[in-house]
């Protein structure tokens, strides 16, 4: 839920001029997310949102430009949060996730730039990654296991 809420927060601050936590909390509620002001405050801190003045001097939230390393850490975090198990069927890597997390984990895998992955398809709790070869599948599974073991 947190990942979806934070994605919605980014969408809201891009599409709307939101300058207070109260405004953001109200917009989230309109979008179907129940969040307290304290939760929104934590999200703002975690997402490194900042306020800037627009042309009229009114403050509004904007997303801090993350470095590539910051983004890679976020993708790894999303992968680890949603990951349950993985197996291969030849050159197909099948990743099981927490229910509802497959899309987020697949997007994270895509952005982590593993050259072995040709493409991914995600359902609710399962991802199928097309891998270039069986050897690449084994190699990728080793890389992912190292990420999981560092947890």
Instruction: Express each pLDDT in 96-108 by its tens digit.
Output: 999 989 998 998 9
List beta partners, residue 129: 93, 120
**pLDDT of 32:** 94
Residue 128 confidence (pLDDT) above 90:
yes
Q: pTM of the entire structure?
A: 0.57
Task: Give residue 151's pLDDT band: very low, low, confident or very high (50, 70, 90).
Answer: confident
Residue 16 and residue 56: Cα distance in Å, rounded? 15
Higher pLDDT, 21 or 55: 21
Residue 66 and residue 74: Cα distance in Å, rounded? 10
Residue 65 confidence (pLDDT) above 80:
no
């Amino acid at each position: 839920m947190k990942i979806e809420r934070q994605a919605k927060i980014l969408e809201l601050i891009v599409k709307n001029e939101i300058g207070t936590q109260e405004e953001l909390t109200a917009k989230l509620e309109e979008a179907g997310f129940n969040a307290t002001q304290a939760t929104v405050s934590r999200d703002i801190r975690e997402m490194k949102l900042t306020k800037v003045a627009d042309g009229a001097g009114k403050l509004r939230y904007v997303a801090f430009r993350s470095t590539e390393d910051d983004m890679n850490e976020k993708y790894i975090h999303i992968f680890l949060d949603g990951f349950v198990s993985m197996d291969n069927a030849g050159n197909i890597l099948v990743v099981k996730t927490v229910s509802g997390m497959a899309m987020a984990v697949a997007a994270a895998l895509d952005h982590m730039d593993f050259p072995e992955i040709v493409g991914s398809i995600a359902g609710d709790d399962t991802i199928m990654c097309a891998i270039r070869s069986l050897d690449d599948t084994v190699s990728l599974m080793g890389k992912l296991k190292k990420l999981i073991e560092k947890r």
